[in-house]
Structure 1
Amino acid sequence: MTAVLFELPPSLEAHEPPAVRDQVRLLVSNGDEISHHRFTDLPALLRPGDVLVVNTSATLPASVPVVGAPLRLNFSSELPSGRWLVEVRGSDLRPRPGAAGVVALPGGHSVTLLEPYSRGRLWVASVDFPVHEFLRRHGEPIRYPYVRRAWPIEAYQTVFATHPGSAEMPSAARPFSDRVVTRLVAAGVQFAPLVLHTGVASPEAHERPYSEFYSVPPASARLVNAARAAGSRVVAVGTTAVRALESAVDPSGTVVAREGWTDLIVTPSRGVRVVDGLLTGFHEPRASHLDLLAAVASRRVLERSYAAALSSGYRWHEFGDVHLLLPSPA
């Protein structure tokens, strides 16, 4: 696993959403060049013809209280079998391994934990009710200890959110506002939407990604292929967009329309086949996402850019600042 060695001081954790979503900072790593911007500078940093690949998955209020216990159950991902991956957390928002059995939920519902899925943290569960409808009535957004108070589900949606299904927000797109999107379109930047329903993150265990549902529509596949043929850059907005897009590449290197569950893990040794750049948040030292970032850039670039982010006071996590990784101008 790629590791960028640093200590993340609590003062750099974003504890709440910014008052205006596009008023966050933007660190740009352009090969060996590092520069500091506001997110509203993004239209000037991209070129006409560049394509931004955006995830249109909407965030579910995926966390519900467990009846009769100081616990919460987080719904993570639906499996191809129709069962769900779920996580049990304590009242301190820390993971609880739990034990197989029936978990009582609000409204007289329950789920049955069948077997451990990963290190005792995620469980395969049998669910016999419509999950999305249940969560709309009883759920709240998943929240970790660094977010000190609850925020409404609207704080966890991006402007692209149209397809409900993510346990956690595809947060790299959170700084986009209507006005920034309008300026990008006016500057000749194109948008290629796709879907990847992201599951529950693992801030403590830093596990590898597991199977997630994705869909790359025909129009987006054509747009990305045309941009690459014209020599324009394909910039993914978030690691979820990278995973989905790279899952839809055929052996010839062409993006095709495709949907299903992907097990793809993007690493430096695997590399990326169609993504040139990446807009992403800042990740923790042992986060598995860093392997994907190193596949787009390099470990050396990440070490330099993260050192610059730390020394300049950039903010981490889903409500924090963002990082644009672009290929070297050469």
Structure 2
Amino acid sequence: MARIPAEQRGPGLGRDAVRLLVSRGSEQVSLHAFRELPGLLRAGDVLVVNTSATLAAAVDARLGREDLVVHFSTRGDDGRWAVELRTPAGGGTTRPHAGGPAGAVAELPDGGRLVLEEPLAAGADRLWWARPRPGPYEVPALLRAHGRPIRYAYTERDQPLSAHQTVFAVPAADGAGSAEMPSAGRPFTAELVARLVSRGVQFAPLVLHTGVASQEAHEPPYPERYEVSPTTAGLVNAARAGGGRVIAVGTTAVRALESAADEAGRVRPAAGWTDLVVTPERGVRVVDGLLTGLHEPGASHLLMLEAVAGRAAVRLGYAEAVARECLWHEFGDIHLLLKDESSNHSHC
């Protein structure tokens, strides 16, 4: 497990001081420094990046006499927030806490309250819709004043919010953002972006506000808010028409981009909520490659990796990651999965 960010592991290290595992089809896998990425891509390739900013989404609260931590996951269109209740477990970490019951009121700092209303999905009580009092638009201010980044037990200590922001993050005017960092973009630095641009690699931004992941149960992802702009749709379509590869930086970028694509793989501007779950059966229509962290064996994201590169490529890559002691999770090493071009037909 990557217990601290790369730049804290030794003097002179930056965010890009992680390793890059590269899988090309089912028979080729190699290990590189992440800084070598420009040499592994081609002019005309497009990196699709998520510009959602990470929120300080964990807030201390009380439910009756019980201490709680509330994880603010997703802001709904009706002013409610999807939240996850957690129990403090010592050392800044938490463990699961049952959601609800309906009507329960969690007390927040500065006199705020959170009224639990209903589970986010039938039969799943980990995330609940809750209505903030006095009003929904107080939550961004509450998070700025009292929130901290969500932290999991495998990390060594709390990190400042800046450690959870990518170089691509742009704060939203309405205070929306991601409960957890779109972490595949974390190793990028301004210098590395400049080197990629000078090589002829383009960047196409989109937004997907990611909710709180299921660390214990590995549930499929819930619906999330996203936006693909006309500019990004045009960049991606032009790259495909010109023979460039479309490489998503993170599973969030795959989910948003594939949600905006038609069956022929043409991307159109789109915004709203996506409930798309990318599986090998569904396949991908736009994405030729994926930059992502290393996911635990039970994670639903692995199905997305298989949809992009095939099961054999994923298995080979993970066997190499274990053998080479690569680091897992949001502060860890990165995996570039590319479609096997030897059997790939050209885009039409």
Structure 2 counterpart of 1:76, from 60, 73, 91: 73
CA contact (8 A) 1:163 1:195 kept: no
1:15 is matched with which residue?
Answer: 3
1:123 is matched with which residue?
Answer: 128
1:316 aligns with 2:328: yes
Structure 1 counterpart of 2:157, from 144, 149, 154: 149
RMSD of aligned Cα (Å): 1.1
Partner Cα separation in structure 2 for residue 208 and residue 238 of structure 1? 16
**What amino acid maps onto 2:15 in structure 1?**
R
Partner Cα separation in structure 2 for residue 190 and residue 313 of structure 1? 32
CA contact (8 A) 2:85 2:126 kept: yes
Structure 2 counterpart of 1:61, from 43, 56, 64: 56
Pairing 1:1-330 to 2, within 5 Å after superposition: 13-19=1-7, 20-31=14-25, 32-67=27-62, 69-92=66-89, 93-100=94-101, 101-118=104-121, 119-127=124-132, 128-130=135-137, 131-164=139-172, 165-330=177-342
Partner Cα separation in structure 2 for residue 230 and residue 312 of structure 1? 37
Partner Cα separation in structure 1 for residue 99 and residue 273 of structure 2? 27
**What amino acid maps onto 2:241 in structure 1?**
A
Instruction: Give the secondary structure class of the aligned counterpart of 2:194.
Output: helix
1:6 is matched with which residue?
Answer: none
**What amino acid maps onto 1:115 in structure 2?**
E
How much identity, in percent, do the aligned residues show?
58
Q: Which has the higher contact order (CA 8 A, sep 6+)?
A: 1
The number of residue pairs the alignment matches comes to 318
1:221-258 CA distance string (max 9 Å, x none): 00000000011100000000000000111344310111
Partner Cα separation in structure 1 for residue 211 and residue 254 of structure 2? 15
Q: What are structure 2's unaligned runs of at least 5 residues?
A: 8-13, 343-348
> Kindly tell me: are residues 298 and 251 of structure 1, through their superposed partners in 2, closer, same or farther at Cα, counting changes over 3 Å?
closer
**What amino acid maps onto 1:133 in structure 2?**
A
1:230-289 CA distance string (max 9 Å, x none): 111000000000000001113443101111011111110000000000000000010000
Query: After the TM superposition, which of the residue ranges 32-41 and 247-256 deviates more from structure 2?
Result: 247-256
Instruction: Give the secondary structure class of the aligned counterpart of 1:176.
Output: coil
Partner Cα separation in structure 1 for residue 235 and residue 332 of structure 2? 30
2:11 is matched with which residue?
Answer: none
Q: What are structure 1's unaligned runs of at least 5 residues?
A: 1-12
**What amino acid maps onto 1:121 in structure 2?**
R
**TM-score, with normalisation over the residues of structure 1?**
0.94
1:10 is matched with which residue?
Answer: none
Query: After the TM superposition, which of the residue ranges 154-163 and 89-98 deviates more from structure 2?
Result: 89-98
Q: Which runs of 4+ in 1 moved over 4 A?
A: none
**What amino acid maps onto 1:90 in structure 2?**
T
Partner Cα separation in structure 1 for residue 83 and residue 108 of structure 2? 13
Partner Cα separation in structure 1 for residue 136 and residue 118 of structure 2? 19
In the TM superposition, what is the alpha-carbon distance from 1:64 to its structure 2 partner?
Answer: 0.1
**TM-score, with normalisation over the residues of structure 2?**
0.89
Partner Cα separation in structure 2 for residue 140 and residue 288 of structure 1? 26
